[in-house]
């Protein structure tokens, strides 16, 4: 599992597809929004929680279709089936690798965004924490979506349509956390809900994805 994790991280960094692409995509959205909305900080701050999560979600989607697709095309996935690690473990490792290269990267730059949009320190901190516990669920739900569209002709187009509704709970709780933090409300409940959704998704999705991969490879 560790070796799959390492392999996937290296692949995404060296092939120049996943890592830099999603991060720059995320940054681009974050920078384009003020240009479209206007530069007043108050206006920006009221929509930032939503913008933040929507752009995290989109940049996560961007690299999802490659999660299993390239391994499926060159037969690596079938070789994984023969490995001593159960398929669930492989899905888990690949989802973690995806999270480390997209979700975590986005989380780490979140304080910079707080600074750009003129938030105070505690809001930036909560932004960071909410993304830290919330983005894993994006990657794991994404792993499920990627596994279900393996081998489909228009899989990469189908994937967002299938998977977007699944992001709703994370999106709601995550942006509520940031919104409540920015307006000085009690944010701990939404934060715990975000974490709860993530924990649930992490424990459920590898099994569902393994089931889907098994039937797709049959």
Partner 1 sequence: MSIWNYANPTLFMSLSKRILPTTTVITLVLIITGTCWGFFLTPNDYQQGSSVKIIFLHVPAALIAINSWFVMLISSLIWLIRRHHISALVAKAAAPIGLTMTLVAIITGMIWGQQMWGTYWAWDPRLTSFLILLLFYIGYQTLWRAVENPDVAADLTSILCLVGTIFAILSRYAVNFWSQGLHQGASLSLDKEEHIHDSFSNPLYICMIGFVFLFITLLLVRTRTEVLKRQIDSIERRKGYFNA
Among 15, 121, 122, 215, contact with partner 1 (rule: CB under 8 A):
215
Residue 114 vs 160, nearer CB to partner 1: 160
Residue 18 vs 145, nearer CB to partner 1: 145
Among 12, 173, 182, 198, contact with partner 1 (rule: CB under 8 A):
173
- Minimum Å gap between C-beta 9 and partner 1 is 26
State the residue for tokens 């939503």.
50
**Number of other residues whose CB lies within 10 A of the CB of residue 175:** 23
Residue 144 binds to partner 1 (criterion: CB under 8 A): yes
Tokens coding 179: 């919104």
Residue 218 binds to partner 1 (criterion: CB under 8 A): yes
Q: Cα dihedral sign for 216, 74, 60, 188?
A: positive
Count residues near partner 1 (CB under 8 A): 30
Residue 9 vs 187, nearer CB to partner 1: 187
Q: Contact at 8 Å (CB) between 62 and 21?
A: yes
Among 161, 185, 192, 199, contact with partner 1 (rule: CB under 8 A):
161
Among 1, 47, 58, 158, contact with partner 1 (rule: CB under 8 A):
158
Residue 92 binds to partner 1 (criterion: CB under 8 A): no
Residue 211 binds to partner 1 (criterion: CB under 8 A): yes
Q: Contact at 8 Å (CB) between 23 and 109?
A: yes
Subset of 176-195 contacting partner 1 (CB under 8 A): 176, 190, 193
Residue 172 binds to partner 1 (criterion: CB under 8 A): yes
Instruction: Give me the helices (H) in the chain, please.
Output: 2-14, 18-37, 41-62, 66-73, 76-82, 87-101, 103-116, 121-148, 155-163, 168-182, 188-217
- Minimum Å gap between C-beta 53 and partner 1 is 12
Among 30, 169, 181, 195, contact with partner 1 (rule: CB under 8 A):
169
User: 104-110 — which CB contacts under 8 Å span 24+ positions?
Assistant: 104/132, 104/135, 105/19, 105/22, 105/23, 106/22, 106/23, 106/26, 106/56, 106/59, 106/60, 106/131, 106/135, 107/131, 107/132, 107/135, 109/23, 109/26, 109/27, 110/52
Residue 140 binds to partner 1 (criterion: CB under 8 A): no
For binding to partner 1 (CB under 8 A), which residues are involved?
A: 144, 148-149, 152-155, 158, 161-166, 168-169, 172-173, 176, 190, 193, 197, 204-205, 208, 211-212, 215-216, 218
């Amino acid at each position: 599992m560790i070796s799959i994790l390492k392999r996937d991280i290296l692949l995404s960094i060296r092939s120049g597809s996943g890592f830099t692409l999603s991060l720059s995509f995320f940054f681009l959205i974050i920078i384009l929004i003020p240009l479209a909305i206007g530069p007043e900080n108050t206006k920006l701050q009221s929509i930032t929680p939503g913008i933040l999560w929507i752009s995290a979600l989109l940049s996560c989607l961007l690299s999802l279709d490659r999660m299993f697709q390239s391994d499926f095309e060159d037969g690596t996935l079938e070789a994984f089936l023969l490995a001593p690690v159960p398929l669930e473990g492989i899905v888990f490792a690949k989802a973690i690798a995806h999270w480390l290269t997209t979700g975590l990267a986005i989380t780490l730059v979140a304080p910079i965004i707080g600074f750009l949009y003129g938030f105070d320190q505690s809001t930036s901190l909560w932004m960071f924490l909410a993304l830290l516990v919330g983005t894993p669920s994006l990657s794991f739900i994404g792993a499920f979506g990627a596994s279900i569209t393996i081998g489909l002709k228009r899989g990469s187009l189908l994937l967002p349509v299938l998977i977007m509704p699944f992001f709703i709970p994370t999106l709601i709780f995550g942006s509520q956390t940031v919104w409540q933090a920015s307006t000085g409300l009690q944010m701990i409940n939404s934060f715990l809900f975000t974490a709860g959704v993530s924990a649930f998704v992490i424990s459920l999705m590898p099994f569902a994805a393994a089931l889907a991969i098994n039937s797709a490879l049959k």
